[in-house]
Amino acid sequence: MAKQQKSQLGARIDDEALELARVQAEDRGLSLGDYIAQLIREEAGRLRARGLDAARRFLDEHQAVFDEAEAAGQQPLEYTPRDTGGHPDGLPGGLCYRRSEPGLPV
């Protein structure tokens, strides 16, 4: 792995957690900072895997709906931007997205 630029972090954690982290880092032959970075990368990898697994399960459960719509020649619903006039549920700039269906005003 190529050496990456490092940034300094100042974080406050309780003494027990700090001691545990130091022991775990030492056991792995890592500096405390490298150990914390490794933990973050591992957690990000676990979260990514969970997200992909959830997407896979969703498609496994609902693929038939998409297949039926495609076979029937239906187009998926489109979402179009509209001005919300600063509505709190809107996106920055006063926009939100609304489902476009035939016969509904945009």
Q: Cα 39 vs. chain centroid, distance in angstroms?
A: 17
Read off the pLDDT of residues 62-101 as tens digits, 9 standing for 90 and up: 888 888 878 877 665 555 555 555 555 544 454 455 555 5
Could you give phi then psi for residue 82, rounded to 5 degrees?
-145, 155
- Establish how many alpha carbons lie within 13 A of residue 26's alpha carbon, considering only the half-sphere containing its beta carbon: 6
Q: Give the integer Cα–Cα distance in Å for 32 and 73.
A: 57
Cross-strand pairs, 78:
100
Nearest-CA neighbor of 100 among 80, 74, 82, 81?
Answer: 80
What's the confidence (pLDDT) of residue 21? 95
What's the confidence (pLDDT) of residue 104? 52
Read off the pLDDT of residues 6-56 as tens digits, 9 standing for 90 and up: 888 888 999 999 999 999 999 999 999 999 999 999 999 999 999 999 999
Q: What is the pTM of this model?
A: 0.53
Residue 96 DSSP symbol:
E
